[in-house]
Structure 1
């Protein structure tokens, strides 16, 4: 029996989605990339268009989608605060209505389906590091709730389709990820700091910079979610996929300045509402169930990311929203 599968990747032209598509195409699978190009770049997948086993469709998953597939990776949703807060109702619709549409398709096709959830479901955590058993400390009324609560609702939908309809689901909770093909104007700290450092302008740090994040290189992340999709059916998750190495935002800024040789200075601005003070995954479950752990150290990953940022012209990128 052929091991080649028909695989749908929603959000497939995004930063992570494009690398996932690339991996799956190289493995010989028939890959359908679906994206509405709100925050993604068509150039992320241009190099795949002449591959016979790759197909690109412009579509918004808040509308029904009718395809015949064996597996679905659902990565579709704006993930940077400036972007998901730009149209918060649409963000919630993407997580909720998009999940319903894709789960319905998976049910009909008897397809396996993976939800790219997020560490944001933990809110501003009171437990550190965060294990999957931690239920979170989330403000349902705040400006980040459209994303955080949308992803939590998506997890609920996935589990209900699994229990009620026997849909073969997987849930991964992705922590901060970085690497080549990040949108220079996505508003994330890594892309912001590198772009500002290369432009020689002040690097913006919100608050005093003591808040922490854990940064996972994109290759490690993609490997983790593929392992989860191919893992045992009895393990549906959720499972944390991220790098447990913890750094303060100020440490990251100083590291980027040093590695780019920039003359940029750090300037501080007020901390946004509900910005988590700590973020670090407990990856015990991923180690035990998937045999997965990140391998790329921050300095190595940053060096590759900086080189990519140097290779592109920022003028070729349009900021998806005014909030970056």
Structure 2
């Protein structure tokens, strides 16, 4: 096996250090999520060269394809050659239903974070993934949080998840594994045109004017803006939320802050009063509710009645519907 190019190793080392510093996990042992694709295999060889003795790897076998067990074993063989500990993880229950890629995500991350406990978990998301995600969310009219797309780091179940490759192109990572000579697999689902992501991948490949690295950089700037607004919303919440039936004085704040705080107030009210129906989430559309409150009209959403007043907006259980 040929060592990876020194410049690529140095670049990867710097990218990991930058993201780890941002997540306050500098120097932590590294746990790699390695699927067997070219991207994650490149991450494996780069991490092994950049951080000898600090790396372990795991492959999550979704058990959705006949070849997946052999692919996980292939990753294990490469790890053995590199001297990297390797684990094969499997779902607790079969992954079934529509939108199978979305359904596969939750058990994959649950297993990986359990396995990675006490270490930083690295995934091989790159600039092309970021650009595809940004375009998908733009097409769905996502808000700022959604347009921030794939974050460079986040915490999940006490584990820091790091994405140090967000400035790398897919082609650069493939070139690394080809230069080193390690095997890799191409998941056939990545070329299935039934998936939105696949169609956008084809669009990016055939439209030179859409630069994946620049799109990924834009998502990074949006993530920074999202962090600023989220902190402002948290500050306002701590200052002005007094609990259920106490007025929340935010009518004069920018609409984006009102949007976030209203959602949070509805969720807090539902939790406090034991309201479970109808369904409501942090991503619920509250635009009609905000429009009504701006017109000084009480309105109901998620089983919560919101009433505007001089001192702010009051949240309480919605009255039961009359039966006819």
TM-score, normalising length: structure 1: 0.29
Which protein has the bigger strand share?
1
Larger Rg: 2
Higher relative contact order (CA 8 A, sep 6+): 1
